[in-house]
Structures are given as structure tokens and as C-alpha cells.
């Protein structure tokens, strides 16, 4: 889901990025180690409580960012129902919902600079192999930053279709969405070449120059 940092100030914003991503990894791993529906349901309730502690506005923002996930949950649920194993489908759906919602909570409360600094620290051993970790961190930063932008562009194109046609949007919107993403990628690449942004990440300390 990779939402942008929330403008709503929360206690989670002040937690170290390493601690948040470490907790995310451990909780997600524990969910995948268990196939009990009670464990997955408890995880969903726990994550919802983490949102609700901050307030209803933050919870609504989190639910809104999870909207693209719902079609996948429906498809997974129907698929397992047709296979004759609805309980396994419920486990998979609850696990996916909890994991994505928790990951979304981490990205909503972690500054991009802090996430990049953490990636640089984790990639530090690769420097011994001659790998330019600064470029890897910059690429990850671009993904984190522009996935929400691409989703927002797709949403606006769908809204434009609905405003001009009574028909439901279908495959016809795929080409415009792809062209918009390609145009954004071209402009970002040109901006990077012009400003030499890759050089702003120092492999020696993981900080911006």
C-alpha cells in the first residue's frame, strides 16, 4: 500500500524507523507461522486498535489507503470458497489484511529520509562487494514515493471516465494509466539527470550530503 506520511501527528512518528520496521517483520513472520484463524483475527483487531488509539481521523485515513486491497481480498475469499476450503480463505484474507494494514501504519508514520537511512545501514555490508548502495536506496525511495502518486493518478483517470461515460471503466483505461505512469517516469528521470540527485546519498554514512 505504501501510503505517504500522514499529516496527523501520532506517537508512532517519534519511534525509531528501525524499531518500527523490526516490529513489522516480527509480527508479520509470526502471523505466517500460524494457521489459526483466532491468531489472524487477533492480529487484525490489534492493528485496528493501533490506528484507533490515535483517533478516528487517523483510522479513516488508514482505511482509505487500504481501499485497493479489498478487490484482492474478495478474489482470494471467493477462490478458496470454490475450492471448498472457506476457513483457509478466511485465514489468508485476515493475514493479508493485518499485514498490509500494519505495513501501511509504518509507512504512514515514518519519514522517507528515516526509511532511506535505515536501508543504507542494512545495505552497508554490500559495499565490500563494490555495490553502490546509494543508488539502491534512492531507487527504493522512488518506489515508496511514487506508488501512491501512481495510484492517485489512476483514481483520477477512473473518475474522469465516470464523469464522461455511463459505462463502467474497463480495459480502455489501462492504456491511459500506463501512459501517465510512463510520462511521470520520463520526467522524473530527466529531473534526476539534470540535478544529479543520486550523488546526494553518501555511502559512507547513509546521510544526505
DSSP 88: H
Secondary structure of residue 172 in the 3-state scheme: helix
Torsion angle in degrees (nearest 10) through CA of 93, 96, 99, 103: -130
Grid cell of 36 as nine digits: 489459526
Reported as type and span, the H/E element at residue 19 is: helix 17-32
Nearest to 20 by CA among 130, 127, 106, 138: 106
The pLDDT value recorded for residue 43 is: 93
Pairwise CA distance, residues 62 & 105, whole Å: 7
Pairwise CA distance, residues 56 & 48, whole Å: 11
Secondary structure of residue 204 in the 3-state scheme: coil
The pLDDT value recorded for residue 140 is: 74
Nearest to 20 by CA among 124, 118, 122, 143: 118
**Nearest-5° angle of CA 148, CA 96, CA 37?**
160
Residue 103 · residue 66 · CB < 8 Å: no
pTM attached to this predicted model: 0.69
Residue 48 · residue 59 · CB < 8 Å: yes
The pLDDT value recorded for residue 72 is: 85
The pLDDT value recorded for residue 204 is: 52
Residue 99 · residue 47 · CB < 8 Å: no
The pLDDT value recorded for residue 196 is: 59
Q: What is the pLDDT along the chain (209 residues), one digit of tens a residue?
A: 445 678 888 999 999 989 999 999 999 999 989 889 999 999 999 999 999 999 999 999 888 888 878 888 888 889 988 888 889 889 999 999 999 999 999 988 988 788 888 888 888 887 888 777 777 777 777 776 677 777 777 778 778 877 877 777 666 777 777 787 788 778 877 777 776 544 444 555 444 44
Residue 104 · residue 1 · CB < 8 Å: yes
How many beta carbons lie within 10 A of that of residue 34, not counting itself? 14
Backbone φ, ψ for residue 149 (5° rounding): -65, -45
How many beta carbons lie within 10 A of that of residue 44, not counting itself? 18
The pLDDT value recorded for residue 206 is: 46
For residue 68, what are the CA distances in angstroms to 101, 176, 193? 12, 19, 33
Amino acid at each position: 500500500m505504501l501510503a505517504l506520511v500522514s499529516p496527523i501527528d501520532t506517537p508512532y512518528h517519534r519511534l525509531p524507523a528501525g524499531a518500527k520496521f523490526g516490529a513489522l517483520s516480527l509480527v508479520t513472520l509470526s502471523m505466517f507461522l500460524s494457521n489459526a484463524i483466532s491468531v489472524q483475527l487477533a492480529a487484525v483487531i490489534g492493528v485496528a486498535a493501533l490506528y484507533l488509539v490515535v483517533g478516528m481521523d487517523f483510522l479513516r485515513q488508514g482505511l482509505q489507503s487500504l481501499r485497493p486491497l479489498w478487490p484482492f481480498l474478495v478474489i482470494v475469499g471467493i477462490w478458496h470458497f470454490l475450492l471448498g476450503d472457506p476457513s483457509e480463505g478466511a485465514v489468508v484474507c485476515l493475514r493479508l489484511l493485518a499485514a498490509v494494514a500494519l505495513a501501511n501504519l509504518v509507512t504512514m508514520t515514518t519519514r522517507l529520509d528515516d526509511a532511506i537511512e535505515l536501508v543504507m545501514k542494512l545495505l552497508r555490508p554490500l559495499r565490500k562487494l563494490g555495490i553502490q548502495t546509494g543508488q539502491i536506496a534512492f531507487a527504493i525511495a522512488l518506489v515508496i514515493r511514487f506508488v501512491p502518486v501512481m495510484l492517485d493518478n489512476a483514481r483520477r483517470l477512473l473518475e474522469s471516465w465516470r464523469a464522461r461515460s455511463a459505462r463502467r471503466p474497463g480495459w480502455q483505461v489501462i492504456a491511459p494509466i500506463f501512459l501517465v505512469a510512463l510520462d511521470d517516469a520520463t520526467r522524473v528521470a530527466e529531473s534526476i539527470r539534470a540535478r544529479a540527485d543520486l550523488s546526494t546519498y553518501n555511502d559512507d554514512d547513509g546521510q544526505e550530503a
